[in-house]
Amino acid sequence: MADTVGKPAEDVAGAPNGIDSRELITVRLALDAGIKSSRRIWDADGNCTSRNFLSAVDKALCLAEEDPSARRYLDHDIDNAMSHMVAQIQIVRVWKASQLCVAVDRLFPNAADSMSTSDRTTTTGTVSSGMELDASDGIQCWASSCVPDEFAALVDGGLEVLDLIRPAGVSVLHEIAQRVICAGYTKQFLQKMESVPCNVLDRFLLILLVQCPRRTTGIWIKRWSMVTELVEKAVVAMRRQLYAQDPGAFDNFRDEYLQITSEGVVLHLLRLADVSTVTSHEKLEYILSMYEALSDAAPSLLLLFSGEHKQRVSERTLDTLTRLADVVKTMVSGVMAKIQSDPSATPSRAPDGGVHQVTQYTMTCVERLAPHRTVLGLILCS
């Protein structure tokens, strides 16, 4: 208390001429009290819980704009206040995944059975991309099976009709952005966006990271292809819904915000596509599905990025496609080697007069690879 009482006296002596020193001291104390009193300025529903702090921020910015000497005097306090303000972007909930989880639950109907007890009781979690997940939005909605018709419906426009955004959260972003611009803290604001969670896109990563951690299994490879398609559609839907919100100061940042948010998940998804350890040619069709899913989604995804974001995503996408193509070529060589194995080691005809096992194997391969013949031909010719 003694420190608090003594500080205003020092401030009075150093106050700029022509400005009420008591007003400056009141603003400084209000800023300090607001920062110390609560980690949150807004609650989860977007309601302001620290109106006095916001008023003090606005007053400080107004004084600083009117008089450069006041800006210098309040510089440290404004810096602390804006750091506190910018940090709110990591707390405010802009996206919601509740309707999305209902839709995905139809794709994976055994979700409740496939989650462990610890998964079902955990309130929050993180994926390795560093994003926090909120179980209240349905973290346990993934399962091990899939309904093809439901998946097709979701990919072919189902995501467009889902309510993925919280308007109250966007309003908070407008309030933050308005003060960030006024204070000249746009650079810090953009930097903080790099660690902002997006529970809509993270839900798709959970299909891979929570339910199917072994990357070399057939089900994981099939899920990766599905998730790639869904992420591309989800990003498009998120962009449309964000742009449909009421205009405000955050409009200056929304393109960069979407790119940063999407880039983190897309790059993480591409890193997960490392299937270089898969050598079994029985999984060839799954690797081809991965290649097709990524090559189909890439054009739309790249349209969402620009500048350095686009360059990073483009380079990683090309690298991933190249790696997948190399795996496919290795697998095809394995298939050919098996078909062309030493005929002397096996009778040319099945003992019972039926179809020879090599013939059966060949026909099975042809049947399973037929849907992928176009992309397979492109890979083998490259």
E-strand stretches of 41-122? none
Phi, psi of 201 (to 5 degrees): -70, -35
Closest CA to 32 of 78, 93, 64, 95: 78
Give 335-354 pLDDT, tens digit per residue. Answer: 777 767 755 445 555 555 55
> What residues have CB less than 8 Å from 46, skipping those under 6 apart?
92, 166, 168, 169, 171, 172
State the Cα–Cα distance between residues 206 and 220, nearest whole angstrom: 12
Give 32-77 pLDDT, tens digit per residue. Answer: 998 888 888 998 788 999 999 999 999 999 998 888 888 888 999 9
pTM of structure: 0.74
Q: Is the pLDDT of residue 333 over 90?
A: no
Distances (CA, A) of 160 to 151, 157, 228, 233, 242: 14, 5, 16, 8, 12
> What residues have CB less than 8 Å from 261, skipping those under 6 apart?
193, 196, 198, 201
Q: What letter represents residue 356's amino acid?
A: H
Q: What letter represents residue 269's amino acid?
A: L
Rounded (10°) CA dihedral 216, 218, 221, 223: -130
Name 42's bridge partners. 48
State the Cα–Cα distance between residues 242 and 169, nearest whole angstrom: 11
Query: Which of residues 198 and 189 earns the better pLDDT score?
Result: 189
> What residues have CB less than 8 Å from 248, skipping those under 6 apart?
170, 171, 173, 174, 177, 178
Give 194-235 pLDDT, tens digit per residue. Answer: 888 888 888 777 777 665 656 656 777 778 888 888 888 888
Task: Note the pLDDT of residue 335.
Answer: 72
Query: Which of residues 278 and 49 earns the better pLDDT score?
Result: 49
State the Cα–Cα distance between residues 203 and 212, nearest whole angstrom: 13
Task: Note the pLDDT of residue 151.
Answer: 64
Give 66-115 pLDDT, tens digit per residue. Answer: 888 888 889 999 999 999 999 999 888 999 888 777 776 666 554 434 43
Q: What letter represents residue 64's amino acid?
A: A
Closest CA to 287 of 326, 231, 318, 314: 326
- Give per-residue burial for 156-169: e unless 16+ CB within 10 Å, then b: eebbeebebbbebb
Closest CA to 173 of 93, 56, 230: 93
